[in-house]
Amino acid sequence: MNKYNKPMGLAKTEIFTDLQNEIAVISKAFGHPARVAILQHLFKMDTCVCGDLVSEIGLAQPTISQHLKELKLLGLIKGNVEGTSVCYCIDSENWTKMKAIISQFLDQDLSNKNCC
């Protein structure tokens, strides 16, 4: 810490509403093309993808693993161990919930907003 009430590199989440923080956290998960690519791939596949994400996307295995961890922590995907490999897929229920939160934010009324 330092002379500031909060360290400089850290977002001041406590001054915002829960909804504002929630929108930010979800959006941040979509804020890297690798995670977008992972999610798109999981949607494209009819079955679960068991670890071919590394060859599919083109980043090193630890990097993909790190991105998967973030998505799993947030709840957007689920991962099941199957022998030596792990089966990942979209968490439909949570995806729907988070989609609702983001959609509500995106769908704000645009009438009378062309004033500049």
Partner DNA sequence: TTTGTTCATTGTAATATTACGATTAATATT
Partner DNA sequence: AATATTAATCGTAATATTACAATGAACAAA
Query: Using CB under 7 A as the criterion, which residues of the chain lie in contact with DNA when the complex forms?
Result: 1-2, 4, 6-12, 28, 31-32, 34, 50-51, 54, 59-70, 79, 81, 83-86
The CB-of-39 to DNA minimum distance in angstroms stands at: 14
DSSP track, 10-75: S--GGGS-HHHHHHHHHHHHTSSHHHHHHHHHHHH-SS-B-STHHHHH-S-HHHHHHHHHHHHHHT
- Which of its own copies, DNA, none is residue 6 near (CB under 5 to 8 Å by kind)? DNA
Q: Does 114 help bind its own copies (rule: CB under 8 A)?
A: yes
Give dist(CA 60, CA 88) in Å, integer.
Answer: 17
The CB-of-99 to its own copies minimum distance in angstroms stands at: 5
The CB-of-47 to DNA minimum distance in angstroms stands at: 13
Q: Does 10 help bind its own copies (rule: CB under 8 A)?
A: no
